[in-house]
Amino acid sequence: MTTRLIVWRHGNTDWNAGHRVQGQTDVPLNELGRQQAVDAAELLARMRPDALVASDLCRAADTAAALAALTGLSVTYDRRLRERYFGLWEGLTMTEITQTRPEEYARWTAGADDIGGEVETLDDLGKRVAEALQAAADLVEPGGTVVVATHGAAVRSGVGHLLGWPREQLRTLRALQNCHWVELTHDAQRGWQIATYNVGPFTDRPTPPPV
């Protein structure tokens, strides 16, 4: 039987809108983000999820709450689903980072694992998020559906690690839009496979940075 795992990015925040690095800073959803969560939840509820898991940061937890309200599911929180820790970058705009930390920014844009500035490595990020995604999938019986609400960089690295992709292949994935998701499937013969990517409402909106 095929298990379905929906990995869902949280709704918009004021820091997303201002291209400011959030990382593990606990920034709340803004009005747009709350509406995005409601609209996306209406689509996800049609998939009849059996379990709902979220990062404990409020922008992801409140996004998950919109789906919980429609489905009656309780939310399980997992700290491993938190966004990449961006260290000394958190709270800065991308323009400020290019001006004040140009060497680190160059390593980041080149896809380096360790960029400095106390930023979590991609390898550590991928491992912890993939562990949380697998744990979420294990909550349901084979053939079930679980939805996981998390963060942009966490989605890409966690999904890539779960699929066994090298970092070079991971860089081919564009950043998820707010309140969009990745659908993964798993069965005993084929293991994990990616079914859809960057699906959701508001497809005509620009994509904020996944931080």
pLDDT(169) > 70: yes
Q: What is the pLDDT of residue 111?
A: 87
Q: What is the pLDDT of residue 205?
A: 47
Laid out side by side, the sheet with 191-199 consists of 75-77, 51-54, 145-150, 3-9, 181-187, 191-199
Q: What is the pLDDT of residue 204?
A: 44
Q: Decide if 83 is catalytic.
A: yes
pLDDT(206) > 50: no
pLDDT(21) > 90: yes
Distance CA 5, CA 115 (A): 30
Weakest mean pLDDT among 23-27, 195-199, 204-208 = 204-208
Q: Decide if 90 is catalytic.
A: no
pLDDT band at 5 (very low <50, low <70, confident <90, very high): very high
Structure tokens, 117: 């500035």
Which of 10, 151, 161, 180 is catalytic? The answer is 10
Q: What is the pLDDT of residue 209?
A: 54
As annotated, the binding site includes 9-16, 59
Using left for φ > 0, alpha for ψ between -120 and 50, and beta otherwise, residue 104 falls in alpha
**Domains of the chain, first to last:** 3-199 (3.40.50.1240)
Q: What does the buried/exposed string (b/e) look like for 179-206 if buried means 16 or more CB atoms within 10 Å of the residue's CB?
A: bbbbbbbbeeeeebebeebbbbbbeeee
pLDDT (average), residues 190-202: 92
Which of 19, 31, 42, 83 is catalytic? The answer is 83
Residues β-bridged to residue 54: 77, 149
DSSP conformation letters of 121-134: PHHHHHHHHHHHHH
pLDDT(202) > 70: no
pLDDT (average), residues 87-106: 96
Residues β-bridged to residue 29: 13
Alpha carbon 154 to its chain's center = 5
As annotated, the binding site for substrate includes 9-16, 59
pLDDT(51) > 50: yes
pTM for the structure as a whole: 0.93
* Number of C-beta neighbours around residue 103 at 10 A: 10
Q: Which residue has the higher pLDDT, 172 or 74?
A: 74
pLDDT band at 201 (very low <50, low <70, confident <90, very high): confident
65-89: pLDDT as tens digits:
999 999 999 999 999 999 999 999 9
Q: What is the pLDDT of residue 170?
A: 83
Distance CA 14, CA 32 (A): 9
The single residue listed with the structure tokens 């659908």 is 183
